[in-house]
Structure 1
Amino acid sequence: MPTIYDLSQRLTDYLDIQQVNQVRRAYFYAEQAHDGQRRKSGEPYVTHPLAVASILSEMNMDHQSLMAAMLHDVIEDTQIDKADLSDQFGDTITSIVDGVSKLTHLHFETKAEAQAENFQKMVMAMAEDIRVILVKLGDRLHNMRTLGVMPPAKQRRIARETLDIYAPIASRLGMHDIHMELQDLAFRAYYPMRYKYVGRAVQQARGNRFDMIEKIEKTLEDCLEREGLPGDIKGREKHLYSIYRKMVTQKKSFAEIMDVFAFRIVTDKIDTCYRILGAVHNLYKPVAGRFKDYIAIPKANGYQSLHTDLFGARDITIEIQIRTEEMEAIATQGIASHGDYKAGKDNEASYNRARQWVQGLLEMQRQAGDSMEFIENVKIDLFADEVYVFTPQGRILELPKGATPVDFAYAVHTDIGNSCVSCRINRRLAPLSTPLESGQTVEIITTPSAQPNMAWLNFVTTGKARTNIRHFLKTKEQGESIALGNRLLNQFLANFDTTVDSLDEAVLKEYLDEVELLSLDDLLREIGLGNKMAYMVAQRLKPRSHDETKQKLPNRPSNRPLSISGSEGMVLSYARCCHPIPGDMIIGHISSGRGIVVHRDDCRNITEFQDDPKKCVYLDWDKAVDDEFEVSLKVELAAQRGIIATLATKASAVGANIHRIDIDEKEAQMSTVHLDISVRSRIHLARVMKRLRALKSVSRITRA
């Protein structure tokens, strides 16, 4: 374990003496604050913050980050509060420490909820100062290195959290070395037997092929020397978790995993990278489809490199990565390779990408319904493999594998996503659910009247798209349910000669307190969603001056039925059992959480509720209704060649759109055809049925 004196000696290599002394002061302050506290291993607690600071010093982090690392558990685990820390070390360091600290003063029902809330707090702190996550990653790395002293159940929980959140974040920020070590340590803790077996297999493969690996490395060196190309060659093995993940995702045995061994060639400039690529392709045969150019199209975290797989000697497949020294620094340390972590220097690509990603997290957090929804969306983004697609203007967008044009639209802008109706992929119209592939050009077609569809949630993959769709639908549903609740309550209040706008404020407040709602809008939303009965609420909110002995609330509102236009949105739906259409006598079934479900009044499923004001409300169709409604027809006809095409042609000629056709064969010469069509009204339906009935082969047609 390094001491503060060892660390101080190392820090003098890149910090001035005054900054080193400030780090030493933070250490001694932490040592005093944690006096008497010990880790599970029995060591003094201060060895942990010292180790975290040492990890950050290996990345040449600034002195404020190192001071925050020394103090990162002071607020959480000692009697010192934020005010005391701020007096001693200033607001900047205190805000980093506070961002890393857990929410220990709040009670959570589950560990998952606590994890989600703490991560949400950390994201908000990251938006202010991205060094928060760098300190947290150092903290998590040391905890993982010393995880063996914890009980097995706690080891598995911490390892799962590391695989789900912290290792992917390190990858997203380009911190390759920390990302790989976190994954391997978590793999060992979560799957100890699998870790042992994969490790044993790698050791055996290394023993069998070690001489061949050395020979390939020497051959590569000779090739570069012969071509006069500068390059430092480093051979390495794939990390155990990386091998295990390939075995799981590709469903292959260890022997089938191709690139267990890899070589990295670090050179002086980009031009040399491509010349080295040509040289190694001339030396060994490349594997088709396994070349990736991350120099021309960098990853979202700023990573740049050329990747190629080659067939080496004795059927050994090797991976070669070719990059410059600057790319190597970014690849291993990511954002930590830059000295400026505050807004102001916008010339560092990986730093800017990291800031954009954090801002995207912050936007997602604002739109999410709760911390659990937020963290699930973040996990979706963190675990994605990438595809690279182009806008019509040539801008490159990185999206997760399996992303659709809807994900692309939201990646461009939230308003584009909210108003998209269709898309063109490589200039051809395509469904919005089409999975995108790298290299495609995607054009989104929008219209101001469009809005997100709930069905999109079934195929979108990005957290941003999912969060924005849910937020839009939630906001839309809230407005629609308030409007419907207002109409329903006004109908029943009319029995007491009053309206929602004329309610007694004292009576309203008393009732809201009783049902634990904050405002009238909350009450109207509950009525519109069917969670509260309008006639019961009206009974409670009637004016106190009203004489109950003279007039009691009838089972039905005294004014005319509620008119519907078909544009009420998500709080009003149409029953699939009877398919009501304009012109039908209708009744509304109040369904908790769904609002009003419209049935035909002769529907057998509604018979037992018709006279119950708690369950049903009378409806009629608005004269201005202008929409198409689905209806089912049952057609009995003589079987003959081409009859289905004839039915479709006749229905389309009268303006009916056919959604589905099913055929039941009753006898050899007779068939029953079920048609699902959309019509505008009963009159339109009658014209369709008349046209179909005129066919000689049709013996009977009825509405199902």
Structure 2
Amino acid sequence: MLRQYELVDLVKSYDPYADEDALNRAYVFALKKHGSQLRTSGDPYYSHPIEVAGILTKFKLDSASIIAALLHDTVEDTDTTLDEIRDLFGDQVAQLVDGLTKLAMIEQKSGSSKQAENFRKLLLAMSEDIRVLLIKLADRLHNMRTLHFCPPEKRARIAKETLDIYAPLAERIGMQEVKEEMDEIAFAELYKDAHDSIVARLNFLREQGSDIVPKIIKQLEQDMADNGVHCTITGREKSPYSIWRKMQLKNASFEQLSDIMAFRICVDTVADCYQALGIIHSKYHMVPRRFKDYISTPKPNGYQSLHTGVIGPYDVRIEVQIRTYEMHEVNEKGVAAHWAYKQGQRTEGKNFRWIRELLEILDQAQNPDEFLENTKLEMYNDQVFCFTPKGDLIGLPVGSTPVDFAYAVHSNVGDTCVGAKINGEIKPLRTILQNGDQVEVLTAKNQHPSVEWDRFVVTGKAKAAIRRYVRINKREQF
């Protein structure tokens, strides 16, 4: 557990003007209020909020977030009131703690709609201030790290909720490190046999070619140096969960997966990224359909990198990711890497397009369960990137149709959609869009959503809007 001075030093290391006095007071306040309370593990309860605050320092969060993390369970689990927190630590901290307390209260309710209602509240809280989500993710991550102390049925429920909701949210906000750790712990809990089998095979491969990763790194470094590219190269095996996901998606066995090793090349500039890519492709055979350029078309969460698959040094098939150091920082830490409030701007979640889209689904859903189903669709997706006639980029899940595209542009465009031109040709509305398609949506004022659309659309936003129209229409008929 972090000591008081260690936590303060960590915050001061990236924010020299942090309110040292408030941080110290919050640490002592949490210690006193939680007193002799214990966690399931038998550890003092106050170790949890302190660890959550510690996780947030890795993402260089502001002192208001660190203080809110220290206090996040005080209103719910002790005799502390929100007014008391407001008086001692100010409005901003009180608002964050209030958002987190409301969430915690719903989490304890039982019933089938609990998970959905919980997510609904989280969305509303993070639309006010995105930092609520970051603290919640750190809270969930620490709870996952201590999951093995819980009884089996509780472990399974928490792991499933993490895999369904919190890990995709971490990915949406770009916090890759957090997502991967959550995925791994949840995977080991929910699919133990699959997890153990993949780990055993990875161990076997490691023993077979124990020095292959350093050898490949050395060769790639030599390739870059010979061409005057300054870089840092790291290599690692893909995580058991990401290997398992790939096996599921491709319906392939472990042995059929070739690129279970990934190498990352970090360089200074974007030009260096493309130069490094040219060096790799000119020396090694490229694997067809494995190249992706997320620099010119970033993922919706801001992720940027070049990905390619090649038959690399020593004839080993590998994945290579090439990015700048700055991109790497953003890719790993996400939203937290370039904080809006550092420039004194607002931290409203509504600034993020995907949160606005989830809020729109919330508006249109009939009940919490339907909302959860549609938002899961919205969050879990491998992307295809399509363009509007003006050249704007729209990211959609694989399998999307022109109707999904229309709703992604605007709800009104979706509602009044009558047809679509894909790359200049009129195509049926159920056509599946491909990467790079240019889509022009044709609309008519008197057009309304069709029940048929619900059978082929794949985005949560489109499904929610269509179902809402159908519901309203039925009411009017009766």
**TM-score range relative to shorter protein:** over 0.9
Q: Cα deviation per residue 1:203-259 (whole Å; 9 max; x = unaligned)?
A: 111221232222211111111111001110011110110011111221211111111
**Letter of the aligned partner of 2:463 in structure 1?**
R
Instruction: Within 5 Å, give how 1:389-468 maps onto structure 2.
Output: 389-468=386-465
Contact 1:174 1:302 in 2 (8 A): yes
Corresponding position: 1:269 with 2:266: no
Shift in Å at residue 399 of structure 1?
Answer: 0.4
Shift in Å at residue 6 of structure 1?
Answer: 2.0
Distance 2:143 2:370 in 1: 27
Give the alignment partner of residue 374 of structure 1, picking from 367, 371, 376. Answer: 371
Partner of 2:12: 12
Contact 1:273 1:324 in 2 (8 A): yes
SS of the aligned residue for 2:340 comes to coil
Distance 1:470 1:147 in 2: 38
Partner of 1:56: 56
Shift in Å at residue 185 of structure 1?
Answer: 0.9
Distance 2:260 2:58 in 1: 27
Q: Cα deviation per residue 1:181-207 (whole Å; 9 max; x = unaligned)?
A: 110011111122222221111111122
Distance 1:8 1:344 in 2: 22
Cα distance change of structure 1 residues 230 and 136 upon mapping to structure 2, 3 Å threshold: same
Instruction: Within 5 Å, give how 1:129-140 maps onto structure 2.
Output: 129-140=129-140
Instruction: Within 5 Å, give how 1:168-317 maps onto structure 2.
Output: 168-317=168-317
Q: Greater shift after overlay, 304-313 or 107-116?
A: 107-116
Cα distance change of structure 1 residues 104 and 49 upon mapping to structure 2, 3 Å threshold: closer
Q: Greater shift after overlay, 3-12 or 41-50?
A: 3-12
Cα distance change of structure 1 residues 431 and 265 upon mapping to structure 2, 3 Å threshold: same
Partner of 2:123: 123
Contact 2:417 2:447 in 1 (8 A): yes
Partner of 1:506: none
Contact 2:417 2:441 in 1 (8 A): yes
Cα distance change of structure 1 residues 58 and 200 upon mapping to structure 2, 3 Å threshold: same
Q: CA RMSD in A?
A: 2.1
Instruction: Structure 2: state its 5+ residue gaps.
Output: none
Q: Cα deviation per residue 1:157-190 (whole Å; 9 max; x = unaligned)?
A: 1111010011011111111111111100111111
**Letter of the aligned partner of 2:164 in structure 1?**
D
Distance 2:108 2:152 in 1: 23
Distance 1:404 1:194 in 2: 34
**Letter of the aligned partner of 1:241 in structure 2?**
Y
SS of the aligned residue for 1:451 comes to coil
Name the structure with the higher strand share.
1
Q: Cα deviation per residue 1:634-676 (whole Å; 9 max; x = unaligned)?
A: xxxxxxxxxxxxxxxxxxxxxxxxxxxxxxxxxxxxxxxxxxx
Instruction: Within 5 Å, give how 1:134-149 maps onto structure 2.
Output: 134-149=134-149
Partner of 1:359: 356
**Letter of the aligned partner of 1:60 in structure 2?**
K
Distance 2:258 2:110 in 1: 42
Name the structure with the higher helix share.
2
**Letter of the aligned partner of 2:66 in structure 1?**
L
Cα distance change of structure 1 residues 362 and 431 upon mapping to structure 2, 3 Å threshold: same
**Letter of the aligned partner of 2:324 in structure 1?**
T
Cα distance change of structure 1 residues 106 and 382 upon mapping to structure 2, 3 Å threshold: closer
Cα distance change of structure 1 residues 313 and 324 upon mapping to structure 2, 3 Å threshold: closer
Contact 2:103 2:122 in 1 (8 A): no
Distance 1:321 1:281 in 2: 13
Distance 1:365 1:200 in 2: 43
Distance 1:60 1:104 in 2: 24
Q: Greater shift after overlay, 94-103 or 418-427?
A: 94-103
Q: Cα deviation per residue 1:562-621 (whole Å; 9 max; x = unaligned)?
A: xxxxxxxxxxxxxxxxxxxxxxxxxxxxxxxxxxxxxxxxxxxxxxxxxxxxxxxxxxxx
Cα distance change of structure 1 residues 324 and 314 upon mapping to structure 2, 3 Å threshold: closer
Select the structure of larger CA radius of gyration. Answer: 1
Distance 2:108 2:312 in 1: 55
Cα distance change of structure 1 residues 42 and 352 upon mapping to structure 2, 3 Å threshold: closer
Contact 1:102 1:118 in 2 (8 A): no
Shift in Å at residue 5 of structure 1?
Answer: 2.5
Instruction: Within 5 Å, give how 1:477-626 maps onto structure 2.
Output: 477-478=474-475, 480-481=476-477, 528=478
Partner of 2:82: 82
Cα distance change of structure 1 residues 111 and 144 upon mapping to structure 2, 3 Å threshold: farther
SS of the aligned residue for 2:211 comes to helix
Cα distance change of structure 1 residues 107 and 23 upon mapping to structure 2, 3 Å threshold: closer
Shift in Å at residue 146 of structure 1?
Answer: 0.6
SS of the aligned residue for 2:384 comes to strand
Distance 1:324 1:383 in 2: 27
TM-score by length of 1: 0.65
Distance 1:181 1:425 in 2: 40
Distance 2:125 2:104 in 1: 16
Distance 2:131 2:410 in 1: 28
Shift in Å at residue 354 of structure 1?
Answer: 6.6
Cα distance change of structure 1 residues 401 and 354 upon mapping to structure 2, 3 Å threshold: farther
Distance 1:343 1:447 in 2: 44
**Letter of the aligned partner of 2:216 in structure 1?**
I
Shift in Å at residue 21 of structure 1?
Answer: 2.7
SS of the aligned residue for 1:201 comes to helix
Distance 1:29 1:359 in 2: 36
Shift in Å at residue 84 of structure 1?
Answer: 2.5
**Letter of the aligned partner of 2:77 in structure 1?**
D
Partner of 1:100: 100
Contact 1:159 1:186 in 2 (8 A): yes
Name the % identity: 43
Distance 1:104 1:311 in 2: 49
Partner of 2:381: 384
TM-score by length of 2: 0.95
Cα distance change of structure 1 residues 172 and 24 upon mapping to structure 2, 3 Å threshold: same
Distance 1:90 1:335 in 2: 24
Instruction: Structure 1: state its 5+ residue gaps.
Output: 482-527, 529-704
Contact 1:129 1:342 in 2 (8 A): no
**Letter of the aligned partner of 2:453 in structure 1?**
W
Cα distance change of structure 1 residues 241 and 30 upon mapping to structure 2, 3 Å threshold: same
Distance 1:109 1:211 in 2: 51
Q: Greater shift after overlay, 311-320 or 366-375?
A: 311-320
Contact 1:301 1:353 in 2 (8 A): no
Q: Number of paired residues?
A: 478
Distance 2:378 2:71 in 1: 31
Distance 1:237 1:21 in 2: 44
Shift in Å at residue 344 of structure 1?
Answer: 6.6
Cα distance change of structure 1 residues 229 and 104 upon mapping to structure 2, 3 Å threshold: closer
**Letter of the aligned partner of 2:160 in structure 1?**
R
**Letter of the aligned partner of 1:35 in structure 2?**
G
